[in-house]
Amino acid sequence: MGRRKKGQPVSGWINLDKPVGIGSTKALSRVRKFLDAQKAGHAGTLDPLASGILPIALGEATKVIPFIQDAAKTYAFTIKWGEATDTDDTEGNIIKTSPNRPKEQDILKALPDFTGEITQIPPKYSAIKIDGQRAYDLARSGADIEMKSRQVVINQLELLEARRDAADFRVNCGKGTYVRSLARDIAEKLGTYGHIIALRRESVGYFTLQSAISLEILENMDHSAALKEILQPLQAPLDDIPALPLKETEVAKLRNGQSLSFVSKGDFARLPKTSANDPVVAMYNGTAVALVEIEGPAIHPFRVFNQ
């Protein structure tokens, strides 16, 4: 007989506004404990010094975390000019200084160079793996590591306010972008040094600050009220994925991993128009049953939800 899992089979999303001062893993643990969930995961790490959107998946929602991690993200951040740190933020030690302070017109002129597909070198203090070890662990041990450059996409970058010693920005970027690296590179382009002193994630795909809840408010809610009012359904962040409505007789087959064949004209008309290999979410009575791929009249499940 298998061991009974601890907690309740809660499935869905909590759009958490993570506070400064705790890491993503700690925030995840507190949400999971409060909701007494059997299983939980988050879609995108935030450093302790950063605040903002941390999508937390519970139960079956953990199966779609990769789709959320790939979504575009928006950050508001502040660069302090004149100092470089070994972590590219305030947690590190100052390693270089410069008396130069960029003017607003020079900042605005430089921003187009950091828009579109750009190359950046991730910070040494990051979660990237090098020979099976996290870069930050190697950096803390004093190892001399070389971070490889990578291509990332910056959809939009704007200057919000410029002051003598600091400036505020907002960026919308693709997967894998390090805002700390962006800040470092902008400063160097402007003939000085710089590092992040404030970072707030404002959105992760579907999840935005407008619908987020703070950890403090969540933990002070009634447990049942939180599940009813705050927990978002598994399919909520999949709103940009085409949906396939199912009949009751089709649900069990997909949940058992079986393919469906829509050969009749009426059934075939239900199929959404998609490109090859595009995911489709199969739905029954407002509940996500599976993610499927459509190949002609055939529907193949590749991720099944047991909820």
Return the domain boundaries, the chain.
Answer: 12-71+206-236, 73-199, 241-304
What CATH number matches the domain at 73-199, 2.10.60.10, 3.30.565.10, 3.40.50.300, 3.30.2350.10?
3.30.2350.10
Cβ pair 79, 196 in contact under 8 A: yes
Q: Where are the alpha helices (DSSP H) in the chain?
A: 24-35, 65-69, 104-110, 135-140, 179-189, 215-219, 223-229, 248-255, 265-268
Judging by beta carbons within 10 Å of its beta carbon (0-12, 13-18, 19+), is residue 119 exposed, middle or buried? Answer: exposed
Cα 288–Cα 217–Cα 38 angle in degrees, nearest 5: 45
Predicted confidence (pLDDT) at residue 143 exceeds the cutoff of 70: no
Instruction: Please give the distance of CA 9 from its chain centroid, rounded to a whole number.
Output: 23
**Number of residues that this document lists for the chain:** 307
Which pTM value belongs to this model? Answer: 0.90
Cα 180–Cα 182–Cα 184 angle in degrees, nearest 5: 70
47 is catalytic: yes
Give the CATH class of 12-71+206-236. alpha beta
- Residue 295's pLDDT is 87
Cβ pair 121, 148 in contact under 8 A: yes
Strands 51-58 and 94-97: unpaired
Share of the chain above pLDDT 70, in %: 91
| Topology alike, domains 12-71+206-236 and 73-199 | yes
Mean pLDDT, range 70-91, rounded to an integer: 95
Mean pLDDT, range 244-253, rounded to an integer: 92
Predicted confidence (pLDDT) at residue 271 exceeds the cutoff of 70: yes
Output the CATH code of domain 241-304.
2.30.130.10
Q: To the nearest whole number, what is the mean pLDDT of the chain?
A: 90
**77 is written with which tokens?**
């951040």
Catalytic member of 17, 47, 88, 89: 47
Lowest mean pLDDT: which of 87-96, 132-141, 280-289, 293-302? Answer: 132-141
Distance separating alpha carbons of residues 173 and 170, to the nearest angstrom: 10
Residue-wise pLDDT for 45-61, tens only, equals 898 999 999 999 999 99
